[in-house]
Chains A and B, each alone.
Chain A
Amino acid sequence: MVAAAGLVKRWGQVAALDGATFEIGAGVTGLLGANGAGKTTLLSLILGLHPPDAGSVEVFGLDPGRAGPEVRQRIGYAPEHDALAPDVAAQDLVRHLAEIHGLPRREATARASDTLWLVGLGEERHRPVGTMSTGQRQRVKLAAALAHDPALILLDEPTNGLDPVQREEMLALIRRIGGEFGVDVVLSSHLLDEVERTCGATVILDQGRVVAAGDLDGLRTGGTGLVVDVDTQPELLARRLRSESLEVTVDGLRLVVAGDAGAGADAVRDAAADLGIGLRRLQPRTATLEDVYLAAGRAPAGPG
């Protein structure tokens, strides 16, 4: 879907992208990085809005710099900041942008209405955008990105300014778009848990460089140690394991045992049998996205 090699983009003296190389496939892909990591610049290069200073990017196998209109006709884009005329009704605005993306007027009208219903703004679709809440305006942007039935949607920090409930709803909607609707999504976010819960793959950017990229399952295989769920007395089991020089942390009825998974599993099994503690789960620990992020030497942001 999107492939970049050695992508460099500078704004004055600042290198927003510094040799970024990655591929984005089908499904929902997270573009993860702290503010200023180069996410928005990368989206603008994918859209062909600015030429790269070096390197190349291909979208649908085309160079967006040369085939911009053809590429952008198949992309929906929801920018980070408010980008909507405040005195225009949501329905008119979404219809207008669908027309701009090539839909005939009648089809654009029907799809604008349908899409606003899909994002939960059916009842509000005739209200001017400027009278809407932040959450509603984020949904209008999502509807505008979706209405012309793109092959790929680029969402730049779509949960910015949303309260926790609205955020959950927005992420559920994005999962639905990538799954049920069959539209591929690139979700740009600085929030690690958002990407982890919503995306099947990720590209992690740090200061313009790609520090990790790929399927989340693949990235997580770098984990070490064991996860142990017990039915009772986790502290008792932890003390026993520590006495055998194992590093153990306890979280409720879950223990995480660091170190080699094979040797640890034997120790846990034997200790649990000796102490009469029932094991509900005993499996190798997979790395979280946070581990991947930390391995790259960066601290991720928590939920906003």
Chain B
Amino acid sequence: MSDARILDRGYRRYEGPRRGVAGAVGSLARHSALRALGLRRSFWAKLLPLASVGIAYVPALVFVGIAALLPDQLRQGSDLLPSYAGYYGFITAAIVLFVALVGPEVLCPDRRHRMLGLYLASPLTRDTYLVAKVLAVVPVLALVTLGPPLLLLVGLTFADAGPDSPGAFAADLVRIIVGGLVISAAYTAVSLAVASFTDRRPVASAGVILVLLVSSVATVALVAGGASERLFLLNLGAVPFELVQRIYGERGEMDVATVELVLANLAWTLGAAALLRGRYQRLRVAR
């Protein structure tokens, strides 16, 4: 076998089609999503995101197991299984942790390592760059906001403990998808907006958790002290989950109208998105 190798293959021109802005957005979204999950990265980069995803699915697996092992108790109206909306109560911590990891991971390193300048020197603009980042984060967050209740629905259906008609199955499916996307959209906007204030990922992660915790603790304390229940609409840690409960026709702890909840959720999501956009429009790049 010869040791000869071609070291210089010359330069080839590329005459084929180019995929334009849509292709650039798709490529960046895919790349960012894979990085957020730690894929094609070191073990330590994978550990926390995959652990958070795992934690979010464990209760669903347990409940599906219970449904498979104890079908008689379920048929007799036992309270062993949570509702789909109630399921989020088991995984709120995992969702918050995941949100705090994913948003900063997707946004901060590009500024810290100055990759942003290279991206904006491509067909991407500041706006399409952010669209790509949102398209990366929403489906990744959906892994923990949409995936587990979906698994619960499918598992319970196979265990003969799910919806009792195709129509009921479809209705639950739509509620799960809409509910999961509501939470994903709100927390995508909030986590990216917080991450736009720093290029240090750990600081941004702490910031996301702080924003969610402080808004929860402060509003609960104020309402307990006699303030209006409407202050709950400032509770970022609870508003999306409360709205999901309303989607399932249930009520949580907030004594506010559903319309107000929808508007508050929209305001948080769009407000955070506007803040994010404003931050990036003002950024000076290319140094």
Interface of A with B (CB < 8 Å)? 11, 40, 43-44, 47, 49-50, 68-70, 72-73, 75, 77, 79-87, 92, 96-97, 99-104, 107, 111, 114, 117-118, 122, 144, 148-149, 177, 180-182
What distance in Å separates the Cβ of A48 from its nearest Cβ neighbour in chain B? 9
State whether the Cβ of B8 lies closer than 8 Å to any Cβ in chain A. yes
Cα-based distance from A148 to B28 in the complex (angstroms): 16
A-B contacts besides A47-B120, A69-B128, A82-B113, 11 pairs, CB < 8 Å = A47-B286, A69-B123, A82-B114, A83-B113, A83-B114, A86-B113, A100-B123, A101-B122, A111-B12, A111-B14, A149-B14
Cα-based distance from A100 to B287 in the complex (angstroms): 20
List the A side residues contacting B121 at CB < 8 Å: 47, 49, 72, 75, 77, 79
List the B side residues contacting A100 at CB < 8 Å: 24, 27-28, 119, 122-124
The 8 A-B residue pairs whose C-beta atoms are closest, nearest first, are A102-B18, A69-B123, A83-B114, A44-B286, A149-B14, A77-B121, A99-B27, A181-B11
Cα-based distance from A92 to B35 in the complex (angstroms): 12
What distance in Å separates the Cβ of B110 from its nearest Cβ neighbour in chain A? 8
Q: A49-B285, A77-B121, A96-B31 are in contact. Are A117 and B18 (CB under 8 A)?
A: no
- B123 in contact with A101 (CB, 8 Å): yes
Contact with A along B1-45 (1 / 0, CB 8 A): 000000111111110111111011001100100000000111001
Q: A49-B286, A100-B24 are in contact. Are A107 and B16 (CB under 8 A)?
A: yes
The 7 sampled A-B contact pairs (Cβ below 8 Å) are: A40-B286, A47-B120, A79-B286, A85-B113, A100-B119, A102-B24, A107-B16
Cα-based distance from A80 to B286 in the complex (angstroms): 8
State whether the Cβ of B263 lies closer than 8 Å to any Cβ in chain A. no
- B20 in contact with A102 (CB, 8 Å): yes
List the A side residues contacting B8 at CB < 8 Å: 117-118
What distance in Å separates the Cβ of A106 from its nearest Cβ neighbour in chain B? 10
State whether the Cβ of B207 lies closer than 8 Å to any Cβ in chain A. no
Cα-based distance from A80 to B121 in the complex (angstroms): 13
List the B side residues contacting A70 at CB < 8 Å: 123
State whether the Cβ of B278 lies closer than 8 Å to any Cβ in chain A. no
- B18 in contact with A68 (CB, 8 Å): no
List the A side residues contacting B123 at CB < 8 Å: 68-70, 72-73, 100-102
Considering only CB atoms, which chain B residue lies closest to A89 in the complex?
A: B40
Chain B contact residues, majority secondary structure: loop
Partner of A85, one of B11, B17, B115, B117: B115
Partner of A118, one of B11, B20, B23, B114: B11
- B287 in contact with A79 (CB, 8 Å): yes
- A87 in contact with B7 (CB, 8 Å): no
List the B side residues contacting A47 at CB < 8 Å: 120-121, 286
- A180 in contact with B118 (CB, 8 Å): no
Considering only CB atoms, which chain A residue lies closest to B28 in the complex?
A: A100
List the B side residues contacting A75 at CB < 8 Å: 121
Considering only CB atoms, which chain B residue lies closest to A101 in the complex?
A: B122
List the B side residues contacting A114 at CB < 8 Å: 9, 11-12
Cα-based distance from A214 to B285 in the complex (angstroms): 29
State whether the Cβ of B284 lies closer than 8 Å to any Cβ in chain A. yes
State whether the Cβ of B73 lies closer than 8 Å to any Cβ in chain A. no
Considering only CB atoms, which chain A residue lies closest to B124 in the complex?
A: A100
List the B side residues contacting A83 at CB < 8 Å: 113-115, 117-118
- B9 in contact with A84 (CB, 8 Å): no
- A97 in contact with B18 (CB, 8 Å): no
- A103 in contact with B286 (CB, 8 Å): no
List the A side residues contacting B114 at CB < 8 Å: 79, 81-83
Cα-based distance from A73 to B122 in the complex (angstroms): 6
What distance in Å separates the Cβ of A152 from its nearest Cβ neighbour in chain B? 12
State whether the Cβ of B125 lies closer than 8 Å to any Cβ in chain A. yes
Partner of B118, one of A11, A111, A144: A144
List the B side residues contacting A50 at CB < 8 Å: 284, 286
Cα-based distance from A104 to B18 in the complex (angstroms): 7
List the A side residues contacting B287 at CB < 8 Å: 40, 79-81
Considering only CB atoms, which chain A residue lies closest to B16 in the complex?
A: A107
Cα-based distance from A87 to B112 in the complex (angstroms): 13
Cα-based distance from A131 to B233 in the complex (angstroms): 48
Considering only CB atoms, which chain B residue lies closest to A181 in the complex?
A: B11
Considering only CB atoms, which chain B residue lies closest to A85 in the complex?
A: B113
List the A side residues contacting B59 at CB < 8 Å: none
List the A side residues contacting B113 at CB < 8 Å: 82-86
Considering only CB atoms, which chain A residue lies closest to B20 in the complex?
A: A102
Cα-based distance from A153 to B10 in the complex (angstroms): 18
State whether the Cβ of B163 lies closer than 8 Å to any Cβ in chain A. no
Contact with A along B111-144 (1 / 0, CB 8 A): 0011101111111110010000000000000000
Cα-based distance from A46 to B106 in the complex (angstroms): 28
